[in-house]
Each structure stands twice: as C-alpha cells, then as structure tokens.
C-alpha cells in the first residue's frame, strides 16, 4: 500500500518558486528548453553510466516525447533517461542543492535586481515550469530500480511523494497549464505550432528525437478528385545534428547561444564562441564558450569545471576536467574526437597522451582568442577580465609554458591613466629610454598609492608605476618574475637604482652630509625603535615625506601581510629599514631638539611617529596602537603655543 508523504520546500526554494510563479519574465517559453535539456542530460547519463555499470538498463530506443491535451490543458514530456530514485527526487527536485542560493537571494533583495537577472544567476531549470504550470506532476523510475515515484506540487510551499509504477525507466513530467495570456508572455502551449516553434528555436541540436503527434494535412487523389485529408502523425521536431559538426557558416549565432545554454545551464548568452577543428596527428573538433559571468563559486577549490567529451558521437564524459588546465575551468563546451577509445576511464584520461595533446591545443587556442579579444575589442575584454582576471593570474603563475602570453593578458591599474588599466606590454611601450625595470607598488587603494612616499622619486623621474590594489597581485608578479625581459621591481623594496652616475654621486653626498651633521640621531632613533626596525638611515630618495619603510626584495608588502594575517595565515614579523628624510624640516628640528636634550623622553615619541607614519603610508597595521597613540597625543600637545 502506498502512502502519500507531504514535504515542505526549503525556505529558499519557496522564495525562488514564488518568484517564478509571479514572474513577469516575458520569455516564459524557455521552460520547455529547460525540461528538454534535463531530459537530454538524463538520457546521456543513462547511456554513459551504462558503459561501466551493467545494472543500468538501456532503453530500446531513446527519445523525448511531448504530448498535448487541449481539453485538459495539459502538456506532458516523457524521456527515456536515467530517471530518479525516490531519494534523488527529494534531493534534486525538492531542494535547491546549489550552495550559495541564500546569499544570492539576499543580494537580489538588496540590489533590487529583476527576476530576469535572478534567472541568469541560478539557472533555475526545473522550477521555471512554475512560470507556466499551476500544477506539476513528475513520475520517474530509475534505470536500475523496479519501483517508481510520483512527485506532485502546485508550488504552494509543499510537495507530495508517492510510490507508483511505471512500465519502463525514465521520467514523465506533466504540466497542468495556466490559462494562456499571450499579452503577458504566456502563449498557449497546448497548441502544436507554439511548441514546435519553441523547440526549433531552442532545442534543435538536441541529440535525441523530440517526438510529438502533429496534425498533418495531405492532398490525396488528383484533379477533380483531389481532396485534403487530415491525419495525425508522430513527427520528429528537431534536426538532431550535433552543432559542432556543422560548418560555422551554416550555424546561426542564436543556435550557438542556445547550445551554450544547454551545455552550461547558464541563462545568459556567452561572451564568445570558439569553434575549432584540429587536424593532424590527433584530430578533434572543439566548440568552446567563454561565459559572460563567472559562477559565484569559480574560485572555490570545490568548483568543478570540465568539457563534455564525445567519442564517435557518444558522450562519454560529462565533465572532463583533464581537457583543460585548471585555470581555464571557466571555459565550457564540447570536444569530440574519433581518436580516443570509447571506454576511456578517468585514470586513463590523466595519462593519455592524446588528451595531453588536446589540452595543449585548446590552451593555445583559447589564449590566442583572448589575445585577439584584448587587441580588437578592449571594452569587451575588460568586461571579461573583471570576471575572470583572477583565473588568468592563476595561469600566469602556474602555466610555465604559456607564462609570457598569459602575463600579456593581465591588466593593472597604473599611474599612467586613472581610469583605464594597462597591460604589461603597453607599460613597456611607454617606458623611458633609460628605465630598466617595471615598477609597482601594492596597497589598499589608488589614493594611498598615489600619495605614497615610495613613489616620490619615481614620479619625479616620470616613471610609470603599476598600482597593485588587489593584494595578491604582488604574489602574482613575484611568481612571474619578469615580462619581455624586464624585471618587476617594488618601489617599496631595496634600492631602486634610478639615477645616473652624476645623480648617484649627488645623492650619496647628500646622505653623507646628513650623516656627518645629524648622524647621532640615527642611533638614538634606532634605540627607541629596536623592536620595530632593522636599521635607521638617511634616505637618498625621499622628497616631501619625512620617512618610509624599506623591505628586502622578497618581503611581502605591509598591505599583503595584513590581508594574509586576516585570512588566518602566519606572516613572520619582518623588520624593515626606516629611512628618514634629512632634508625634511621635521627631521632637522628633531635633530636640533635632540642635540640639546639628548635624554628627553620626547625623542621616543617622535621615533614612534616617524615609524607609524611610514607604516600607515604603506597601508599596514600599527602593531602597538596604544603606544603610537600615546606618542601622538604627547607630540601634538607640544605643537600649540602658550600655556594651558
């Protein structure tokens, strides 16, 4: 005896369904694309699971069948796919498994984005049927089970689950349709022509026949006896031609876009389509897509990328991650090759030299497409980079073979232009003739960097500086090391070697002079700052700032150190050199004061201020805030004339 169990939808699912039910999205017809896409995926899955698991039975013939019942206002989709066990129904249909749903819903509420955007973010799939149906019934049987499950919901917060029977494995979804309302984007999906045109538009490439009974008008007899006869025949609505085997010129942009939505479950058109045939030692056909937007979990380690892999028209892997390097995991699409064995396994995949050759070929192709996008459509590239820049940086740091090309694809904020980021190539093109290195400075914001004491001497020379406002860019540049033979040099580390011989001499003399007249100050300051700095010396580069902290070549910047330690990483404390500006009035006055009051505690306060100034200018954290503040208040108190 079967018992009906009633379940409640999760809160987020309910929220999402509410949005669907009341959606003003004008393209409600896309529900059909979603259900057909699911049906096709299910058939693929049954086939490829069957390759290795003999308990998965196979259908005699695979198809997706649509039935219309005008009188009952009912549309039914049946597939010969893998089906679902009862547990799977509850897991996949009753809940939204995708993590991050809550966050996205929250963001939506806050930003007031439209439902259309929401649909784009989720790929709501199955739930889109609630845009057109007032009740949905799903009857399904898994390909290795005897019993079937019935799932029913009107979308009003609950669904029911029943044991049921189904003669064969597969899934049937029955939609009790809402009344048609063409003006509000709800055509009558009981009409054959509506359904047929939606399928032609969105699902023509589906690899299995989409069958539907159609009224066919025929003329029988000839001449005077000719008469029109009406009959009902089952027809295949789609051409079933794999889109990647068709010649580029025969495929419309919309067809490429629809296929993209099918493979990626994205609701937006892709940014770019790459259709590519490799000939030679190993032959394969690739249809690749660059999405417009990065999935919210792209940069989580759990993210699964991968391309569909077909061998001789059979889908053998749904997500073959080995076909691309990890950093290109955002690329979607299909690869088909006849040169691979049909029973290829994950283990083989990892070692197969054909796969390695395909990966190499695809990587080269994708990089060259991106390079051409950068060169020819800069704005579009900038949009792409905003979403996928971190992935390219990952590539530039890890793919040694393509390091130079990938580095050339990176964009950085720079002192050259407030708005437009620069490539490394463009930076080199603007370098002064005597300039040797590519200069950068890492920090919290453009404003901090523009006013940093470290860049004073570079700015005076008219040298461009890359502003690394993304903390990890510093690591990226350290990993890359150099571009086009030019080394990266942090403005905050070590000697910059900016001057010609004459200037150098002048700088050295300036420093010597300061040491001669005020040298005793250095040791005194060092004594007060011995816990904080390695050394105190006079600077040859500071112009208007009184002090700065200089690190060694491989030190992390204070800003990066801050980010890392906030992320729970251990950053060993690194003592730096405090440089003070011997030409600065504050330093001169401080020396005069120290010269006459060598034992005054006030020197300690000033030492803290000079040090703290340099830390703050670098966007770092002052370790002992209490001490710094005490010094600040004490020093400020001496600045006002008169007695209280």
Binding site for ligand ADP (CB under 6 A): 34, 38-39, 42, 79, 81-84, 92-93, 123, 125-126, 171, 265
- The DSSP output letter for 103 is H
How near is the Cβ of 329 to ligand ADP at its closest, in Å?
A: 18
34 vs 268, which CB is nearer to ligand ADP? 34
How near is the Cβ of 101 to ligand ADP at its closest, in Å?
A: 12
> Strand order in 576-580's β-sheet?
533-538, 576-580, 547-550
How near is the Cβ of 170 to ligand ADP at its closest, in Å?
A: 8
How near is the Cβ of 543 to ligand ADP at its closest, in Å?
A: 59
Half-sphere exposure of 39 (CA within 13 A, CB side): 29
At 55 the three-state DSSP class reads coil
- Taking the C-alpha atoms of residue 113 and residue 105, their distance in angstroms, rounded to an integer, is 10
- Taking the C-alpha atoms of residue 129 and residue 30, their distance in angstroms, rounded to an integer, is 9
92 vs 588, which CB is nearer to ligand ADP? 92
How near is the Cβ of 422 to ligand ADP at its closest, in Å?
A: 39
How near is the Cβ of 615 to ligand ADP at its closest, in Å?
A: 49
How near is the Cβ of 70 to ligand ADP at its closest, in Å?
A: 24
Cβ pair 42, 83 in contact under 8 A: yes
63 vs 472, which CB is nearer to ligand ADP? 63
Residue in 568, 374, 571, 386 with CA at minimum distance from that of residue 470: 386
Cβ pair 484, 428 in contact under 8 A: yes
How near is the Cβ of 228 to ligand ADP at its closest, in Å?
A: 38
How near is the Cβ of 148 to ligand ADP at its closest, in Å?
A: 12
At 445 the three-state DSSP class reads coil
Cβ pair 432, 405 in contact under 8 A: no
Cβ pair 488, 478 in contact under 8 A: yes
203 vs 415, which CB is nearer to ligand ADP? 203
How near is the Cβ of 171 to ligand ADP at its closest, in Å?
A: 4
Report DSSP letters for 326-337, one per residue: GGGTT-EEEEEE
84 vs 556, which CB is nearer to ligand ADP? 84
How near is the Cβ of 125 to ligand ADP at its closest, in Å?
A: 2
At 268 the three-state DSSP class reads coil
**181 contact partners, CB below 8 Å, separation of at least 6:** none
261 vs 562, which CB is nearer to ligand ADP? 261
30 vs 563, which CB is nearer to ligand ADP? 30
How near is the Cβ of 391 to ligand ADP at its closest, in Å?
A: 22
**What are 289's strand-pairing partners?**
273, 332
81 vs 333, which CB is nearer to ligand ADP? 81
262 vs 528, which CB is nearer to ligand ADP? 262
- Taking the C-alpha atoms of residue 251 and residue 102, their distance in angstroms, rounded to an integer, is 38
Report DSSP letters for 324-375, one per residue: S-GGGTT-EEEEEESSS-TT--HHHHHH-HHHHHHHHHHHHHHHHHHHHHHH
Give the DSSP H or E segment for 601.
Answer: none
Cβ pair 450, 401 in contact under 8 A: no
How near is the Cβ of 84 to ligand ADP at its closest, in Å?
A: 5
Q: How many CB atoms neighbour CB 587 within 10 A?
A: 23
Residue nearest to ligand ADP (CB): 125
- Taking the C-alpha atoms of residue 206 and residue 212, their distance in angstroms, rounded to an integer, is 15
How near is the Cβ of 208 to ligand ADP at its closest, in Å?
A: 12
225: left (phi over 0), alpha (psi -120 to 50) or beta: alpha
74 vs 403, which CB is nearer to ligand ADP? 74
Cβ pair 474, 442 in contact under 8 A: yes
- Taking the C-alpha atoms of residue 610 and residue 587, their distance in angstroms, rounded to an integer, is 9
171 vs 174, which CB is nearer to ligand ADP? 171
Beta-strand relationship, 133-141 and 148-153: antiparallel
261 vs 329, which CB is nearer to ligand ADP? 261
94 vs 408, which CB is nearer to ligand ADP? 94
- Taking the C-alpha atoms of residue 3 and residue 7, their distance in angstroms, rounded to an integer, is 13
* Rounded (5°) CA angle 523-528-533: 80
- Taking the C-alpha atoms of residue 127 and residue 22, their distance in angstroms, rounded to an integer, is 12
83 vs 408, which CB is nearer to ligand ADP? 83
49 vs 428, which CB is nearer to ligand ADP? 49
How near is the Cβ of 229 to ligand ADP at its closest, in Å?
A: 36
> Strand order in 227-236's β-sheet?
5-8, 158-164, 148-153, 133-141, 170-177, 74-79, 64-69, 210-220, 227-236
Beta-strand relationship, 74-79 and 64-69: antiparallel
End-to-end Cα spacing for the chain: 94
82 vs 344, which CB is nearer to ligand ADP? 82
How near is the Cβ of 32 to ligand ADP at its closest, in Å?
A: 12
Cβ pair 111, 118 in contact under 8 A: no
* Rounded (5°) CA angle 534-538-542: 110
Residue in 555, 569, 546 with CA at minimum distance from that of residue 616: 546
């Amino acid at each position: 005896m079967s018992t009906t169990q009633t379940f409640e939808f999760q809160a987020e699912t309910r929220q999402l369904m509410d949005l669907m039910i009341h959606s003003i999205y004008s393209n409600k017809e896309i529900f059909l694309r979603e259900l057909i896409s699911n049906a096709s995926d299910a058939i693929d899955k049954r086939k490829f699971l069957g390759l290795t698991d003999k308990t998965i039975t196979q259908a005699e013939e695979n198809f997706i069948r649509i039935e219309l019942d005008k009188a009952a206002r009912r549309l039914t989709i049946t597939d010969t796919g893998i089906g679902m066990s009862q547990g799977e129904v509850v897991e996949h249909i009753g809940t939204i498994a995708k993590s991050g749903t809550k966050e996205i819903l929250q963001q939506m509420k806050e930003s007031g984005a439209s439902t259309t955007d929401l649909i784009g973010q989720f790929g709501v799939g199955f739930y889109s049927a609630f845009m057109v149906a007032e009740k949905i019934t799903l009857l399904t049987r898994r390909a290795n089970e005897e019993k079937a499950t019935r799932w029913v919901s009107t979308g009003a917060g609950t669904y029911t689950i029943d044991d049921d029977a189904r003669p064969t494995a597969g899934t049937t979804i029955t939609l009790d349709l809402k009344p048609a309302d063409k003006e509000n984007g709800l055509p009558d999906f009981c009409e054959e022509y509506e359904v047929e045109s939606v399928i032609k538009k969105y699902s023509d490439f589906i690899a299995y026949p989409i069958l539907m009974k159609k009224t066919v008008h025929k003329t029988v007899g000839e001449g005077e006896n000719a008469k029109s006869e009406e009959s009902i025949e089952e027809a295949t609505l789609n051409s079933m031609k794999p889109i990647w085997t068709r010649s580029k010129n025969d495929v419309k942009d919309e067809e490429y876009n629809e296929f993209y939505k099918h493979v990626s479950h994205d609701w937006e058109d892709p940014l770019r389509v790459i259709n590519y045939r490799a000939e030679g030692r190993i032959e394969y056909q690739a249809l690749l897509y660059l999405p417009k937007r990065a999935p919210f979990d792209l940069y989580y380690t759990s993210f699964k990328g991968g391309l569909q892999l077909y061998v001789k028209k059979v889908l053998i892997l749904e997500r073959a991650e080995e076909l691309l390097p990890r950093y290109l995991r955002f690329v979607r699409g299909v690869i088909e090759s006849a040169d691979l064995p049909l029973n290829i396994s994950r283990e083989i995949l990892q070692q197969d030299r054909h796969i390695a050759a395909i990966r190499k070929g695809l990587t080269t192709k994708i990089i060259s497409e991106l390079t051409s996008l950068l060169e020819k459509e800069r704005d579009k590239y900038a949009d792409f980079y905003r979403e996928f820049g971190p992935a390219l940086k990952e590539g530039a740091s890890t793919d040694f073979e393509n390091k130079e090309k990938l580095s050339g694809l990176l964009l950085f904020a720079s002192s050259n232009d407030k708005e437009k980021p620069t490539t490394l190539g463009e930076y080199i093109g603007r370098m002064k003739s005597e300039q040797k290195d590519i200069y950068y400075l890492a920090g919290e914001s453009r404003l901090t960097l523009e006013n940093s004491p470290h860049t004073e001497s570079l700015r005076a020379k008219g040298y461009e500086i890359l502003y690394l406002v993304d903390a990890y860019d510093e690591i990226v540049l350290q990993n890359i090391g150099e571009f086009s033979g030019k080394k990266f040099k942090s403005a905050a580390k070590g000697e910059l070697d900016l001057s010609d011989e004459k200037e150098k001499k002048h700088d050295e003399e300036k420093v010597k002079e300061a040491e001669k007249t005020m040298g005793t100050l250095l040791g005194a300051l060092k004594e007060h700052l011995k816990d904080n700095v390695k050394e105190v010396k006079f600077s040859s580069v500071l112009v208007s700032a009184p002090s700065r902290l200089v690190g060694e070549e491989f030190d992390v910047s204070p800003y990066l150190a801050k980010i890392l330690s906030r992320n729970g990483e251990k950053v060993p404390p690194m003592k730096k050199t405090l440089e003070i500006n011997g030409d600065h009035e504050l330093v001169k006055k401080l020396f005069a004061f120290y010269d006459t009051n060598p034992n005054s505690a006030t020197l300690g306060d000033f030492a803290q201020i000079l040090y703290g100034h340099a830390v703050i200018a670098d966007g770092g954290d002052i370790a002992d805030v209490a001490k710094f503040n005490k010094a600040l208040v004490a020093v400020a108190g001496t600045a006002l004339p008169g007695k209280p």
